[in-house]
Amino acid sequence: MYNRKIVPVNFEVPEKYETDMFLLTPLNVNDLIQDYEAVMVSVTHLKGLMDQSDWPEGLTIEDNLIDLGWHQREFSLGHSFAYAVREREKKTYLGCCYIYPSDNSKFDAQVHYWIREDKEPDIHETILGDLLRDWIRTTWPFKNVEFPGRG
């Protein structure tokens, strides 16, 4: 767990972010089945994407439940923020977006995101990345945000 809030106490953390294509809502344990299925069909795509060289290889559904509980708790504490990414119209579970504190003192936060491998991640991740950059810049209280591995 991270040990400090990454947003000011008076900042109202968004409970959702909705665009023409996507709906982002806080990731929680109720997303277990959809999240685990999305991760499992995306193992090749996800390996190395999240700065964890072997994740999600060997991930069990129990491990994923623990991860989701951790994300849910971190969100409630304001230490990090994880969102489930869904298609706006169909509500199909597509992937996740994570806002973490940065280890690099030049940045206030870092953002990771992914789209499941069977939903054209090259196209959707480019669109999602552009939308996230705008959302972070216009809504969140960060001055400098890094998007590791995303240029």
User: What is the band of 150 on the pLDDT scale with cuts at 50, 70, 90?
Assistant: confident
What's the CA gap between 123 and 98, in Å, rounded?
19
- The mean pLDDT of 137-150, rounded to a whole number, is 94
Whether 26 maps to a domain, the answer reads: yes
Q: What is the pLDDT of residues 83-140, one digit of tens each?
A: 999 999 999 999 999 999 998 999 999 999 999 999 998 999 999 999 999 999 999 9
Show the beta-strand stretches assigned E in the chain: 17-18, 22-26, 81-87, 93-101, 109-115, 145-146
**What percent of the chain clears pLDDT 90, i.e. is strictly above it?**
83
Gyration radius of the chain's alpha carbons: 15
Give CA angle at 82 (84, 19), nearest 5°. 50
Domain span at 48: 17-146
Whether 7 maps to a domain, the answer reads: no
Whether 109 maps to a domain, the answer reads: yes
Whether 100 maps to a domain, the answer reads: yes
- The mean pLDDT of 38-59, rounded to a whole number, is 85
Q: What is the pLDDT of residues 101-116, one digit of tens each?
A: 998 999 999 999 999 9
Whether 5 maps to a domain, the answer reads: no
Domain tally, the chain: 1
CATH number at residue 102: 3.40.630.30
pLDDT at 55: 84
Whether 45 maps to a domain, the answer reads: yes
Whether 110 maps to a domain, the answer reads: yes
Whether 4 maps to a domain, the answer reads: no
Q: What does 32-60 look like in DSSP terms, one character per residue?
A: HHHHHHHHHTTHHHHTTTTS-TTTTTT--
